[in-house]
Amino acid sequence: MSNCSSGAAQANPFAIAQAQLDKAAAKIGLDPSVHAVLREPMRELHVSLPVRMDDGTVRVFKGFRVQYNDARGPNKGGIRFHPDETIDTVRALAAWMTWKCAVVDIPLGGGKGGVVCNPKEMSEAELERLSRAYIDQVGRILGPEKDIPAPDVYTTPQIMAWMMDEYCKITGYHAPGVITGKPLAVGGSEGRGDATARGGAYTVREAAKHLGIDLTKSTCAIQGFGNAGQYAALLFSSLLGCKIVAVSDTKGGIYDASGLDPQKVVEHKQATGSVVGFPGARQISNEELLELEVDVLVPAALEGVITEHNAPNIKAKIICELANGPTTPEADEILYQRGVFVIPDFLANAGGVTVSYFEWVQNLMNYYWEEEEVHAKLDKKMTKAFADVLSASLEHKVDMRTAAYIVAIQRVAEAMKLRGWV
């Protein structure tokens, strides 16, 4: 998950999340009191994290946890370790998690956490101390029945294991359900590793059926080659039969019209640290990749890479947003007018939280499913969610993102009304 554009710095992600909510609320004439509640997080915690570094000095890191709305169940959402982390990014992602859980109809609310740090400059021991320090401060508002974090940008299953262990030390009991995305040996779920990309693949399959596109004759470009991007390359090729012609990361991109071998590109990235320099491929920029003549475009990096400036030049028929917030509201409008079918982030990448939900359920039952069962349950959830959103899109004559908001908002609003909040 790499930042592939400077666009992310230009727009406030929370303002974008609010604008998207406002647009959908206007379409369905949402009750103003419900709308007012949904525009802001229910609660947020700001913490200072003193961490002893390997050289003996103490550095103080800034951390956050935002719990956006828990009308439908405990909050759920990742923890990001990123040098450019801001509270507004965390608020936006917590809002999107609320809609994401609602759109795939899992009984959870939306949360998000973050620490302002550069994990690439920290040793493993420093990362462990930072992870434990975060739980020492934020653990008081977490718990299997309250708020269940997960990995996100630059956090890993190992970091989740440390955090789970710290929470267990504080509470004095074994509570694997406090956090998801853990290694299998400490309560992780089969099928979690590729869940985000796999869920995205299922939505692309459904979109292609709707549009009458034969995916076995289609081409695909993927921007961002972290966890989601790598699995997308492998799965869109093996599950859907797409030809992967371009991929990119922070250092640049590669293109081969005759198709790239995803497995070999993954191995090249693991060996060299980048996709750049892959034998036989032409080097291209991240900006060029977005405007390639392909059937399926997968933004799998960070926010704000598709803007009003490049949206008129995008030639893809389907955009599958595996990243959070890759398209600005202005770009959305342009793409919709041009007939580009956008599968919005909180539907396209909801496979991750869906299998995180499955992991939490398995932790609470202390009974674990086999991988095939996880895949089948994920397919069923994603296919139903896509159908619900497509139906709302056709009924209200709106783009898929607005339709996804309509489905999600109506579900959260119903829960709030039944609880007597509004």
Q: Alpha helix locations (H) across 273-328?
A: 286-290
pLDDT of residue 315: 97
CA quadruple 229, 112, 33, 421: dihedral sign: positive
56 and 146 belong to one structural domain: yes
Query: Does a structural domain hold residue 360?
Result: no
Could you confirm whether 377 is annotated as catalytic? no
> Is the per-residue pLDDT at 415 higher than 60?
yes
Exactly one of 23, 76, 100, 112 is catalytic; name it. Answer: 112
pLDDT of residue 268: 97
Q: Is 258 exposed, middle or buried (0-12, 13-18, 19+ CB in 10 A)?
A: exposed
Query: Does a structural domain hold residue 419?
Result: no
Query: Does a structural domain hold residue 105?
Result: yes
Domain stops at, among 115, 142, 177: 177
Query: Does a structural domain hold residue 413?
Result: no
CB 143 within 8 A of CB 65: no
Q: What is the CATH number of the domain that holds 46?
A: 3.40.50.10860
Query: Does a structural domain hold residue 213?
Result: yes
CB 105 within 8 A of CB 176: no
Query: Does a structural domain hold residue 378?
Result: no
Name the percent of the chain in helix, strand, coil, to the closest 5.
50, 20, 30
Q: How far apart are CA 150 and CA 159, in angstroms?
A: 10
Number of independent structural domains in the chain? 2
Domain stops at, among 149, 177, 205: 177
- Percent of the residues in the chain that have a pLDDT greater than 70, as a whole number: 98
97 and 225 belong to one structural domain: no
344 and 212 belong to one structural domain: yes
User: Which candidate, 420, 362, 356, 359, places its Cα nearest to that of 111?
Assistant: 356
pLDDT of residue 1: 36
Instruction: Output the DSSP codes for 132-161.
Output: HHHHHHHGGG-BTTTEEEEE-TT--HHHHH
Rg (CA), the chain: 20
End-to-end CA distance of the chain: 38
Query: Does a structural domain hold residue 285?
Result: yes
> Is the per-residue pLDDT at 181 higher than 50?
yes
89 and 201 belong to one structural domain: no
Greatest Cα-to-Cα distance within the chain, rounded to the nearest angstrom: 62
Domain stops at, among 348, 374, 409: 348
218 and 327 belong to one structural domain: yes
162 and 85 belong to one structural domain: yes
Each residue of 239-262: pLDDT tens digit? 999 999 999 999 999 999 999 999
CB 255 within 8 A of CB 281: yes
Query: Does a structural domain hold residue 16?
Result: no
Q: How far apart are CA 360 and CA 92, in angstroms?
A: 23
Sequence letter at residue 421 = W
- Percent of the residues in the chain that have a pLDDT greater than 90, as a whole number: 92
> Is the per-residue pLDDT at 6 higher than 60?
no
199 and 341 belong to one structural domain: yes
120 and 262 belong to one structural domain: no
Averaged pLDDT, 84-112: 96
Q: What is the CATH number of the domain that holds 250?
A: 3.40.50.720
Other CB atoms within 10 Å distance of the CB of residue 139:
19
pLDDT of residue 302: 76
156 and 226 belong to one structural domain: no
Domain that holds residue 52: 41-177
Averaged pLDDT, 50-55: 98
CB 219 within 8 A of CB 296: yes
Averaged pLDDT, 398-408: 95
214 and 339 belong to one structural domain: yes
Averaged pLDDT, 211-215: 98
pLDDT of residue 196: 94
234 and 324 belong to one structural domain: yes
CB 393 within 8 A of CB 403: yes
CA quadruple 267, 6, 101, 311: dihedral sign: negative
Give me the numbers of helices (H) and strands (E) for the chain, helices first please. 14, 12
Residue 369 DSSP label: -
220 and 139 belong to one structural domain: no
